[in-house]
Structure formats: C-alpha cells, structure tokens
C-alpha cells in the first residue's frame, strides 16, 4: 500500500460524481476515492441506492442531476444519518 495521501472525497463531491460513476465513465482514481467514501458513508450508500432505483424506474439516468437545492437538502440529511448511526 503506497497510496498514502488520497484526498478524502466529500459527500458533495460524491454527489457530483455519481452520474459518471453509474455510467461507468469515472476515472479510475476518482472511482477508487468514491468507493472508499461509500465504504464509510451510509448516507451516500443510501443515495446511490436511490439513484439506482431512479434509473431502474426511468430506464436511464436522470437527464439532470439534482438541483442545488435538492442537493443541499440531501447533504443535510446525510449529516443527520451520520450522527444518528454512530452512537
Ligand atoms: Zn458521503
């Protein structure tokens, strides 16, 4: 393991990358960071599940990602989950 200093992805960055992730067009370095983040973040895992459900329902990716407002709400929700889920 020589990858000492990979910057941690924030939830917001993950939300921004999720479309590319689901399309499979994410750069390998970003993919690694994203998956690492998912490993430790229940909120983003839930978000990813939701995205997958949306895609299953639509049969494709949503044309636009979330509006900034919706994204903000989501990030607030993430905070809540994180506080709630860890003791
Ligand atoms: Zn997250």
- End-to-end, the C-alpha distance of the chain in Å comes to 31
The rounded distance, in Å, linking the Cα atoms of 17 and 27 is 10
User: Are 29 and 52 a contacting pair, CB within 8 Å?
Assistant: no
**pTM (2 decimals)?**
0.63
Question: For 9-60, how does the pLDDT look when each residue is reduced to its tens digit (9 = 90+)?
Answer: 999 999 999 989 998 999 999 999 999 999 999 999 999 999 899 888 888 8
41 Cα–ligand 1 center, Å: 5
64 Cα–ligand 1 center, Å: 20
Give phi and psi for 60, each to the nearest 5.
Answer: -165, 175
The beta strands (E) that lie in the chain are given as none
Question: For 52-85, how does the pLDDT look when each residue is reduced to its tens digit (9 = 90+)?
Answer: 998 888 888 776 656 666 677 777 777 776 666 5
Contact partners, residue 79, CB within 8 Å, separation at least 6: 43
44 Cα–ligand 1 center, Å: 4
């Amino acid at each position: 393991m020589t990858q000492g200093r990979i910057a941690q992805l924030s939830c917001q960055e993950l939300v921004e990358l999720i479309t590319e992730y689901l399309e499979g067009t994410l750069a390998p370095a970003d993919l690694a960071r994203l998956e690492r983040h998912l490993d430790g973040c229940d909120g983003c895992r839930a978000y990813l599940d939701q995205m997958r459900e949306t895609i299953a329902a639509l049969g494709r990716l949503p044309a636009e990602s979330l509006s900034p407002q919706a994204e903000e709400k989501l990030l607030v929700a993430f905070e809540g989950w994180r506080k709630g889920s860890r003791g």
